[in-house]
Amino acid sequence: MAAPNQRMEVTLDTQLESVDLAENIVTRVAEAAGFGEDDLHKLGMAVREGVINAYNYGNCQDKRKKIHLAVELDPETMVVHVVDEGCGFELSDVEDPLAEENLLRTSGRGIFLMRAFMDDLAVRRGPTGGADLVMSKKLPHRVSGNGKS
């Protein structure tokens, strides 16, 4: 994989305020990259869900741990990493929130929403063993294919 043209990293505290902060950071970068209102909403929500996942499940609300947010832009794609300092997990272990028996659960929809709102979602192992949520979305002019930039 080619190196991104631009990369920005932010280290966030494990606290509720980091959820809004991450959403704001990523939507501003995405807006500058040319995403429209609907995609900005989807990107913001996906990142929000990623940071909620890191806050609640990865770092277990432990304020000593950090959440690492990175945004990469190349000519075709925007990629967002949300890395926690927990124990990591496998996507295959995540239950389907659309299954009849899970519909009345009050949690467990975050990964589903990230997948729904981004083009691709992968979970890797971060440098400290935590989860590295890697979500990507094609830049708008690449989706439309109309040559505009």
Partner 1 sequence: MSLRGTCREVGDVAIVDFSGRITLGEGSATLRTTVRELVTAGHRKILLNLGDVDYIDSSGIGELVGAYTTVRGASGELKLMQLTKRVRDLIQITRLFTVFDVQSDESAAISAFRTK
Q: How far is the CB of 52 from partner 1 (least distance, A)?
A: 5
The nearer residue to partner 1, 45 or 134, going by C-beta atoms, is 45
The nearer residue to partner 1, 19 or 133, going by C-beta atoms, is 19
The nearer residue to partner 1, 48 or 66, going by C-beta atoms, is 48
Residues 6 or more apart in contact with residue 148 via CB below 8 angstroms: 141
Q: Look at the block and give the residue holding tokens 């966030």.
A: 12
Rounded CA-CA distance 14/133 in Å is 16
Q: Look at the block and give the residue holding tokens 């300092």.
A: 85
The nearer residue to partner 1, 30 or 73, going by C-beta atoms, is 30
Q: Give the helix ranges, DSSP H, for 17-138.
A: 17-32, 37-53, 110-117
Yes or no: say if 117 and 125 are a contact pair by the CB < 8 Å rule: no
Structure tokens at 149: 């930039």
Q: How far is the CB of 57 from partner 1 (least distance, A)?
A: 12
Q: How far is the CB of 44 from partner 1 (least distance, A)?
A: 9
List of residues contacting partner 1 (CB under 8 A): 16, 19, 41, 45, 48-49, 52, 55, 97-98, 103-107, 109-110, 112-113, 116
Q: How far is the CB of 103 from partner 1 (least distance, A)?
A: 6
